[in-house]
Structure 1
Amino acid sequence: MQTRLLGTSEIQITPIIMGTWQAGKKMWVGIEDADTIKAIRAAFDAGITTVDTAEVYGEGHSEQIVASALSDVRDKAVYATKVFANHLKYDQVIEACDRSLKNLNTDYIDLYQIHWPAGTFKSEIVPIEETMNALNHLKEQGKIRAIGVSNFNRAQLEEAAQYGRIDSLQPPYSLFWRWIEKDLTPYCVENNISIVAYSSLAQGLLTGKFEPGHKFDPQDNRAKNKLFQGENYDRAQSALDKLRPIAERHQCSLAQLALAWLIAQPQANAIAGARNEQQAVDNAKAGDINLSADDVQEIDAIGRIVTDHLDDNPIMWNW
């Protein structure tokens, strides 16, 4: 898989990135460590050398699973992890980074990201300058190579950028969830900030595997995802029906088509999770699909069947 530069750093990332929220098990059901380790390794072997995790995914469990899967090829892998909203004071950032380094069994993190802005999830409001000072210090020490932010709006991103170089933004972004295109994408293009999209398959909705009327286990976070509810879900099914002939034309799955569309967007890279080896390999193949400008435009229009009816709230879940 061809790689791309992360922002203005020297880090080469793959446009398809292995996501590991599910590896933490918390807020997911039916996840087995052995399967996740095999999936992460299969992704790596298929060319996905970049993996994204976070300290909050199972309180470090996801990071430990990443280490179990990739420690012997650490020098060829790119690790991205995140510090949560409740650890954004200076000393807390330093301590959280050290914990993540230990969990990941490494002495450096390629991309270290602020997971959510201070104040979210009833966390303490910490000035972004204080958090950025800690991140800059970690960068100077060589413990992290690049700084990113996740779930920031444009004003928050602009403020963070006043205190240090931001090389990536991690927002929810998919064919069915395009809130960032209004003002964040232009800012990222202008400032050479890589977009590292999460929920790039709309939490599996874009795979087409969920039938009309599907109900999730209440413990599954997708039970509260707005896209799986009411008219949004009905519109998604209609859009998927229109996408199927395009996928057939390219001899690929709906999921691969959605990922290919996403990484064809300005500055955009796609995080995709996998429960097993086959899903990981299939995700990697999306990096080889070449969509024409007409293809991208046609897919774009179909996606708007869903997105034109969504409100301006950037958060995908009714938490």
Structure 2
Amino acid sequence: MASKRDESSKQNSAWELNRRQLLRSIGFIGAGAGAVLAEHILQSNDQAEAAEASGPATETPAETPLAQAPTRPASGEIPRRPLGKTGVQVSALGLGGATLGQAKSKEEAIRITHEAIDNGITFMDNAWEYNNHRSEEWMGDALQGRRDQAFLMTKVCTHGRDRRVAMQQLEESLRRLKTDYVDLWQIHEVVYYNDPEMIFRPNGAIEALEQAKKEGKVRFVGFTGHKDPALHLKMLAYDYPFDTVQLPLNCFDASFMSFEKQVLPELSKRQIAAIGMKSLSGNGAAVKQGVVTAQEALRYALSLPVATVVSGIDSLEVLRQNLAIARGLQPMTQTEKQALRDRCARYASDGRFELFKTSKQFDADEGRLQHGFPPQSQTQT
């Protein structure tokens, strides 16, 4: 079993030293930094909750209170950034659990996880419901003997159910992940308009977050969602001390129901770590249609003031090409970001590349069923 919460700070420090020594000795494996992600990568990112990483020191002070003191990487290393006000730093590129569970085999998933860690990725994403729990099971196997080298996140998928269900799901996640604590536990998919009330009602999921922290089973807590900035702001209006919030951020978002414009400044003001997702717009359609390149899209995401990019990776090929973009990152300047936003604005304005905001196409089955909607296999809406 893994070390408990009170041992994690020493473990993180030891891991940082060991990681740097390892990287100096073996170097990095991967494709050239200029490579554009192939169609296979687009398919992987389609289903991942792809998060975006925080901005550089050259951003305006109003945009970057969460990223004013990132660890500057040596040449070829993955940048590390502050996770809000937690005192923890995480890798700017994270490993997505949704697509890890779609690797061709458990053995491949383990190889992906090990190579990711060896190359400086510390942030591990997951959720109780991903791939009928296979994602947690495979990641748990992969982290045996390496748990102290990872910042492990998973999500609770109550979707309106009570504290008891949430705690039961946590115990199941811990068992599958083969650990006795997770570093970050987030409420998954706040995407229905009554979700905030259900989460914060007496005996709701928010009470499970409190209980889990008191019991030492989680270190930090947050919530996720991809539907409407108004829902994120409604969650924040309860003034609960969340450590993190996960939200979709990409070069189209700024021009359509924008999380970047409406939610990101509020997170920065509150020093809540932003974890972006859907950097390729959820299904990569904009890249497939030649509107942007995958490298532009991921670099834009990595240039925003968020803590980490949770990248959809289901093969070593995808891992190595995503690493190539993140290593020694040169973030976009304000001018470069605005130019890309302007170029994408006419495509963004009708929401065609962000259907996760306007349809149920990207909503997970667990939430659909709890809210009385059919599973994805029975509908395309």
Common topology (TM > 0.5): yes
Give the counterpart of 1:276 among 301, 307, 315: 315
- The aligned amino acid for 2:349 is D
SS at match of 2:341: helix
SS at match of 1:7: coil
Aligned residue runs from structure 1 range 35-46, under 5 A:
35-46=108-119
List alignment gaps of at least 5 residues for structure 2.
1-77, 362-380
1:292 equivalent to 2:333? Answer: yes
1:239 equivalent to 2:291? Answer: yes
Q: Does structure 1 retain, via aligned residues, the 8 Å contact 2:160–2:205? A: no
Give the counterpart of 2:100 among 10, 13, 23: 23
Match of 1:233 in 2: none
Aligned residue runs from structure 1 range 42-191, under 5 A:
42-86=115-159, 88-117=161-190, 126-129=198-201, 130-151=204-225, 153-159=229-235, 162=238, 164-178=240-254, 179-191=258-270
CA separation of 1:73 and 1:207: change in aligned 2, threshold 3 A? farther
Match of 2:64 in 1: none
Q: Kindly tell me the number of residue pairs found equivalent between the two proteins.
A: 274
Match of 2:294 in 1: 255
Match of 1:197 in 2: 276
SS at match of 2:130: coil
SS at match of 1:201: coil
Give the counterpart of 2:350 among 305, 309, 315: 309
- The aligned amino acid for 1:139 is K
Normalising by structure 2, we get a TM-score of: 0.64
Give the counterpart of 1:10 among 67, 75, 87: 87
List per-residue Cα deviations over 1:245-265 (Å, max 9, x = no partner): xxxxxxxxx433322211211
Distance 1:183 1:276 in 2: 35
CA separation of 1:160 and 1:123: change in aligned 2, threshold 3 A? closer
Q: What is the CA-CA distance between 1:316 and the residue it aligns to?
A: 5.9
- The aligned amino acid for 1:17 is G
- The aligned amino acid for 1:4 is R
List per-residue Cα deviations over 1:21-52 (Å, max 9, x = no partner): 12334xxxx74333232222222222111111
Normalising by structure 1, we get a TM-score of: 0.75
Q: Does structure 2 retain, via aligned residues, the 8 Å contact 1:79–1:111? A: yes
List alignment gaps of at least 5 residues for structure 1.
211-236, 241-253
Match of 1:219 in 2: none
Distance 2:211 2:92 in 1: 28
Higher RCO, 1 vs 2 (CA within 8 Å, ≥6 residues apart): 2
Q: What is the CA-CA distance between 1:301 and the residue it aligns to?
A: 2.2
* 107-116 or 289-298, which deviates more: 289-298
- Aligned residues with identical type, % of pairs: 24
Distance 1:284 1:43 in 2: 9
Q: Does structure 2 retain, via aligned residues, the 8 Å contact 1:16–1:48? A: yes
